[in-house]
Structure 1
Amino acid sequence: MFKKLFLIIIFSNLSIVGFSQTSGKDYTISKAPSLEDYNFVLGTQAIGGKYKFTNDSYIVEQAKQVRAMGSNLLKISLAAKYFKVYPDLEKDPSIQSSLDLLKIKKDYKTVIDMDFKYVFMWIHTLTKAKWNDGVTKQEEQLFYNEMYDLATYLLKKYNNSGKTFMLGNWEGDWLLHGLGNRNVIPSEVKVAGMTKWLQIRQKAVDDAKKKVKHKNVKLYHYVEVNLIKKGMKGEICITESILPKVDVDLVSYSSYEYLKNGDDLALITKDLGDAMDYIESKLQPKKGVDFKRRVFIGEYGFKAMDGLNLEKQAKNTKNLMIASLKLDIPFSLHWEMYNNEFLKDGRTKGMSLISQEGEKKPVYYLHSNYYKVMNSFLVDYKKENNKYPTQEIYKNKAIEVLTTLDYTYSN
């Protein structure tokens, strides 16, 4: 039914070229295609970004780009430094919680109200509470109230919307160790503090779901880890030392430490499979989580510095996408739509789907054409069978499609 899909990019007719960060010029984001109500598994994120091309805010423009690409999944940040993550959201001292941020900065509501089925949010805390040196009773209440109030709001506001909300943290092992300090041994006090913090957050979400009447809207809490190789050696990290004590819904793995074999599908599948199995082995049983597995890839991506190796980047990305589907994980999220990491000389790591020059890269078309083909498959399958396919049927079709999907330039 589906022919091999070839990506054709005519260089002379590119509609996106060379706009600066401050550009408000004639740049048009494609119209968002209609989408079936289904989990496509593969997605990206709209966190940070040091450039934009329209008069929309940073977060709204990126959300529109994600949706126009054909994705029904959005990942954003409600960080305490929201004004640095999204530079046009001015700092407001009246914001004292994640819910305050969501309500006061209307751009958040704008993107959440868009027709995304899955909305992931980085949630830490905008209160004055700290967990690094232990959690006092007062801090415990602040942590609990912040997460409970946000969860309650989302369940009520988006009742019967069909949305699924995923509330979690950014790379937790860096929070525990210090950014980049993988060889540090975290103190007992810090481990105990993070354990308490995560337990409180999970209880707040569980309590909100029990107390708030809701239907056709789902909400989960996840913990993101990023140094599981330490845990596999029996060393202190979140997965080894904290997860067994937290009744968490799901675990996100920021997977960069396992991406060196991205050019080999068999090896990357095995590597990530071992990682997922190890994380799952540390989880407590939990009812009410509607996914086949409770582990997913919260971040992955391959560098293409200075625009070089774009084909290799796309090939490795395709392998990771296929591996994710083979492993039955519910989500695998590419980093990311726009570059947010610039080096001192102005260069980037080149991990974005759309560059700072406005060019849609092969990895962009790899995603967009995947969504097009799989959405057509869902439309036809539902028309023929009066229901959507099982995840197993979808998975097998998606792997077949990706295996033959061409991402190369053609004149």
Structure 2
Amino acid sequence: MLKLPTPLAILAGLGLATCAVSHAAQSDGRWLAGFFGATHSGGKYSLPTRPEPLDYLNEGADRIEEMGAGVLKLWLNDQPSRNYPHFSSAPETRWPAVGSGTPYTSMAKLAAHPFYRAAISRPAFTTVSLVVTEFARVTWRDGLSATEAATVTAEMRELTEYLLTTYAADGKTFILQNWEGDNLLNLDQFPDTSTWRGMADGMIAYFKARQLGVEQGRAAVGAASTSQVWHALEINYNWAAARSGTISIPEEWTLLNCVVRDGYATQGLQCDLYSWSQWSAKAPGDEPRVIRGIDYMRARIPTGGPFGDRAMFLGEFGAIERSHYDAGATVHSANSDAIHADVSLNQFSFAWRCGLQRAIYWQIYDNGMREGLTFDYVNPVSKTEQEVSTTWLIRAPGPPTYPEFSYTTAHHRFASLMDCWLLEDDLTDFSLVHAQAGWTVSTTPQSFAPGTAARLSRATEAPAELVYRTEGDLVDFHVTAYLYAGIVSSTRLRGFTSVDGVTWSEPFAFKVLNSVAVDSAAPDWVRQFLGPDAAVPAGTRYLKIEIHDTGAIWRTQIGAVKVMSRGLPPAIATPPAPQLARTGTSVTLTASATGRGPLRYRWYRDGAFVRETRTPALTLDAVTAADAGAYRVEVGNFAGFTASADARVLVGASHFAAWQSGEFDAAQLAQPAVSDPTADPNGDGLPNLLAFALGRSALADSGTAPLETANVTDSGSTYLSLTFTRRAALDDVALVTEFADHPAGPWTVGGVTLASIADGDRLRVTVRDTVPLETQPRRFARLRATR
């Protein structure tokens, strides 16, 4: 702990001599769409996205996908008809019976249902969070027996293995979590506090059994899957973030303390991830509670798991719009819409600034009813705005004022960020900066900067600067600064922006988003979250951060920088090439592209969507004439899609036009002297039509003679014969053998076929003359192709 340090003590602790720091290479960032998502469960109204039949689970998935979010959160338990009511009139969208005596007796078996498969398999969702409850009920309040623990572990393992194997090639991330653990533990409902420790221990055993199941499932599948499955424990009571009096149990009995912290210390409970259902900052001005809660939670969760000290995400966040309705109103207004959006976006801003794993909004459709109202899950009827709780991104209709559904401004503002790339620089090296000068790096841990991998301070009294360059326009940025003996960052740090990295803006002071002394034992050190003081000018591609402090070189430090910019769609490197195929064979179109992944590939034929693939290849099996057409691929990421040029697929190399289109490029096809049936572009004596029929190239020299003549004896006589190799299938071209006494003719069509031997898609044919050489010793043969 650093207690009221003197400048000399700080210098020693900081190790201010420039040092070489060895760390794992930093990632260059992540898509904001891969960070943000929305929940769909228990919605109380239906706003169909496409014609019947459409199940309600996938209606919500459609809505989340249309806003560009890459994270989908669903419920998976033995009550699917309550989680996803049957609003539809189509019987095929109704859930089947589940449980004992049905095909659906576990989480894994229900996850295999077509409704779940259709939603989860979408390439748009790179992360799927599932709130899971085992079908096999156990009682952990009185302690979890070995048999019960084994049952929980087995079902979690089965689900983990199912997800890893079913989506082995998809590169997805799955998070299996509980929902609001404090409400599950619910200690305030048990007046006898002497029972609380036993209940908490039972819950610890339960979460250990779930974690073990996920670990066993991962081990069983191993490296055979490109997908990942993680187990998360979710809390909803966060003492540091909550308003006074809103938590009805003592601090030490919140789940974060009695299960997460104590469970690790006493029983070795360590989950992969930890989620916070965050409802402490749902009013304007409360948003800094998010930061306080994150700091508090990070100090209590284990750090030895796969995500180290970054094992935290917001499993829920949001706002209740009707809390901001105009007085006496039952429907929203422009004012309530604006407040709802600002509160929601501010929470989200602090989530990415604090480096959380993900932030998932509650919900795409509202799932709650207003006080005194009920919902019929057996015969559900869509509710109106006046009937629901108003935690939403898409509103229910509110007649007569709002006869149709409406998108919140929060929805649009989140959607507008989904093409953004977030660079996250922990400053352990300078691999992510465009340029830098004047720094020294310290990796010595300090209590005033918990969880900070490295801190930068000036190497001399001269200013020091970091320069970041973005591929797309700069949208937002974040600087974590640590300031000693004073909190006026404007006199110590400043920023500059530029379009070209040559001409810079006037210096500007950063906006202080949050300022706090993290460690009470080091009160002179203040951590500040800094951002832009105004909207970033359009076209900005460079950001310069400068320390220009006139005081001691160690007293102003930078602990992290995050830069948000517009991402760029992929660029097509190699478009698909034209293809020829015989009916019944397979065709594979391939392409390559560059850009930030994960990349998606959408294939079209004659402008109509064919399908999306996860690799840059489209294979058409057993093609028919219906598969012929102009194909293009659109390669995309969260920033958008880029279309390739068309590549024509002609089904049947047995058609001259198909061969012609594949043999010549566009310029050659426009030149009759090169590509017409009678042209001979390589000068080998074979016009194009005959070259096609013989399976030879029009442009390259095959190196072998196309025709062979010989004298053959048949039935006691000698005849001139002609041997050639041809395509086995010729749909619009005929080969004609002709014989004559003189090269000038006349030529006679005919001959006797002596042999026709198949070799793959070729035939080796020998035809003899009908006139014996004994009667006409000088004979000539020729082969023609006709249409």
TM-score, normalization by structure 2:
0.41
Contact 1:37 1:117 in 2 (8 A): no
Residue aligning to 1:224:
234
Residue aligning to 1:299:
316
2:44 aligned residue (42, 50, 56): 50
Residue aligning to 1:172:
181
Residues 310 and 97 (structure 1), Cα distance of their counterparts in 2 relative to 1, 3 Å cut: same
Measure the CA separation in 2 of the matches of 1:278 and 1:236: 15
Instruction: Please say if 1:249 is aligned against 2:272.
Output: yes
Instruction: Please say if 1:110 is aligned against 2:118.
Output: yes
SS in 2 for 1:248: coil
Deviates more, 1:335-344 or 1:210-219: 210-219
Larger strand share, 1 or 2: 2
Contact 2:235 2:256 in 1 (8 A): yes
Residues 134 and 183 (structure 1), Cα distance of their counterparts in 2 relative to 1, 3 Å cut: closer
SS in 1 for 2:407: coil
1:396 aligned residue (453, 477, 480): 477
Measure the CA separation in 2 of the matches of 1:163 and 1:140: 28
- The one-character-per-residue Cα deviations of 1:372-410 (angstroms, maximum 9, x if unpaired) are 4x1699xxxxxx9xxx989xx9973899799749xxxxx
Contact 1:112 1:119 in 2 (8 A): yes
1:38 aligned residue (31, 34, 42): 31
Residues 42-191 of structure 1: matches in 2 within 5 Å? 42-54=36-48, 55=52, 56-88=54-86, 89-93=95-99, 94=102, 95-103=104-112, 105-115=113-123, 116-177=125-186, 187-191=196-200
Give the total of aligned pairs.
Answer: 352
Contact 1:182 1:227 in 2 (8 A): no
In the TM superposition, what is the alpha-carbon distance from 1:324 to its structure 2 partner? 1.1
Residue aligning to 2:205:
196
Larger helix share, 1 or 2: 1
SS in 1 for 2:129: strand
Instruction: Please say if 1:351 is aligned against 2:391.
Output: yes
Measure the CA separation in 1 of the matches of 2:532 and 2:218: 38
Instruction: Please say if 1:238 is aligned against 2:231.
Output: no
Instruction: Please say if 1:272 is aligned against 2:290.
Output: yes
In the TM superposition, what is the alpha-carbon distance from 1:237 to its structure 2 partner? 2.1
Amino acid aligned to 1:91: A
Amino acid aligned to 2:57: I
Amino acid aligned to 1:154: L
The runs of 4+ residues in structure 1 deviating greater than 4 Å are 180-186, 230-233, 397-405
Contact 2:177 2:233 in 1 (8 A): yes
SS in 2 for 1:43: strand
Q: Which structure would you say has the larger RCO, counting Cα contacts within 8 Å and 6 or more residues apart?
A: 1
Measure the CA separation in 1 of the matches of 2:167 and 2:82: 28
**Gap runs ≥5 in structure 1:** 1-35, 378-383, 406-411
In the TM superposition, what is the alpha-carbon distance from 1:79 to its structure 2 partner? 2.4
Identity of aligned residues (%): 21
- The one-character-per-residue Cα deviations of 1:144-169 (angstroms, maximum 9, x if unpaired) are 10001111111112123121000001
Amino acid aligned to 1:307: H
Contact 1:45 1:336 in 2 (8 A): yes
**Structure with bigger gyration radius:** 2
1:263 aligned residue (284, 297, 303): 284
Measure the CA separation in 1 of the matches of 2:470 and 2:176: 28
